[in-house]
Amino acid sequence: MKRRSIALTVAAALMAVLLVPGTLMAAEETIEWRMQTIAAPSTSEYKDLAQAFADRVGQLSKGRMKIKVFGSGVLAGELEAGGAVSKGVFELWHSYTELYASKEPVFRSSNEWPVNADPLQAAIWYDAGGSKFYRDALKPHNLYHMGVTPVAGEHIWSTVPLNSVADLKGLKIRSGGVASRSFKILGAAPVSMSGSDVYQGLQRGVVDAAEWTTLTVNYGFGLHEVTKYLIMPSYSGGATYDWVANLDAWNNLPDDLKEIVEVALNETSYKYWMKEKAAERRVLQELEKKGMKIIYWSDEDMRKLEEARMQVVAEMYVKDAPKYVEVLMDQFRFLETLGYDIPDKYMQK
């Protein structure tokens, strides 16, 4: 009888342990994902956003989900990364969906809004319903658009003074995407160049100016060492980074882990955004101390640049892409709710 009592006591104790929520979670299988970020390990994008997100998922899930972060190009080239995630080579991609536009035209200008009406415009549009456009577009590719992170604006770094849009004429400027096409409309001579070559390109005079990523990241890469002028305000604010997961991997996550991933992403994105905005102010102060000349373009000049950008997306990027037109018109209508006047010639009824 005594032995039976001991056995029953042990069994009861084991049942009690198994019924403790924390113990149940610990007993579940650990889910491991691999994520490639477009950021280099030395940047704030990598440390304060990509890695911080992965760490937060691990914390909130109490170790049930682990995400290992890899820098740009480690698992796949950036132009091939979306396809790699689609095939399940790795589970998550933190980058710009514009790089996937050759496979899905909806994303032709997803990270380059033509107008900077509000620094958080793209994130607000996404949360207000824009996410459905992106998720519907990616589903046939076995991809899930997990969310976005606001991106600080880009600026022109130049070796020569650019006092107005008129000074773009004949300028050799490293650029890409919507920016490149719009600069060309305004008379510049855009040069295609990888981000890793921008510093040397400016240093050797291959280009006179460059636009590439955010103010704080460019400062970290030392662009102030090979330029003399910074053009303000940002011509491309209000955009976002994208987080794209393999659809099968996402669907296989338990519902509570999906919620944890979403909470971690929103929390990390907010903290990163606030930290970047504070860092921008410090960087501007440092640049002035180092003798960098900051040139502020007038509202009239900015409007000319925005007009060129709208021309690019509304006339050049809409060809053979009805889904993209639908997204673009929805974004234009949203910009109008923010008080920006979109010319009728660019609106499709």
CA distances from residue 163 to 167, 298, 302 in whole angstroms, order as listed:
7, 9, 12
Q: 303 and 215, same structural domain?
A: yes
Q: How many CB atoms lie within 10 A of CB 42?
A: 12
Q: Is residue 324 part of a domain?
A: no
Considering only CA atoms, which of 50, 78, 110 is closest in space to residue 240? Answer: 110
Residues whose CB falls within 8 Å of the CB of residue 298, separated by 6 or more in sequence, listed in order: 164
Output the DSSP codes for 197-241: GHHHHHHTTS-SEEEEEEHHHHHHTTGGGS-SEEEES-SS-SEEE
Q: 96 and 57, same structural domain?
A: yes
CA distances from residue 117 to 137, 225, 338 in whole angstroms, order as listed:
26, 31, 7
Its domain, for residue 266, covers 29-151+238-279
Q: 217 and 187, same structural domain?
A: yes
Q: Is residue 117 part of a domain?
A: yes
CA 72, 77, 82, 86 dihedral sign is: negative
pLDDT < 70 stretches in the chain: 1-28, 349
Domain with residue 129: its CATH number is 3.40.190.170
Q: Pick the last residue of a domain from 279, 308, 331.
A: 279
Per-residue pLDDT, 295: 98
Q: Pick the last residue of a domain from 252, 279, 306.
A: 279
Considering only CA atoms, which of 216, 189, 194 is closest in space to residue 273? Answer: 216
Backbone angles phi and psi of 41, in degrees to 5: -55, -20
Question: What is the pTM for the complete model shown?
Answer: 0.87
Checking 171-174 for CB contacts under 8 A at 24+ apart, the result is 171/208, 171/209, 172/206, 172/207, 172/208, 172/209, 173/207, 173/208, 173/209, 173/210, 173/211, 174/198, 174/201, 174/202, 174/207, 174/209, 174/210, 174/211, 174/212
CA distance 189 to 213: 19
Residues whose CB falls within 8 Å of the CB of residue 186, separated by 6 or more in sequence, listed in order: 165, 168, 169, 304, 305, 308
**Are the CB atoms for 52 and 43 separated by under 8 Å?**
no
Count of domains for the chain: 2
Q: 183 and 201, same structural domain?
A: yes
Q: Is residue 343 part of a domain?
A: no
Q: 144 and 257, same structural domain?
A: yes
Q: 261 and 139, same structural domain?
A: yes
Residue 135 burial by CB count (10 A; 0-12/13-18/19+): exposed, middle or buried? Answer: middle
Q: 35 and 114, same structural domain?
A: yes
Q: Is residue 271 part of a domain?
A: yes
Q: 80 and 40, same structural domain?
A: yes
Backbone angles phi and psi of 281, in degrees to 5: -65, -45
Q: Is residue 334 part of a domain?
A: no
Q: 269 and 285, same structural domain?
A: no
**Are the CB atoms for 27 and 199 separated by under 8 Å?**
no
Q: Is residue 274 part of a domain?
A: yes
Q: 179 and 288, same structural domain?
A: yes
Q: 119 and 211, same structural domain?
A: no
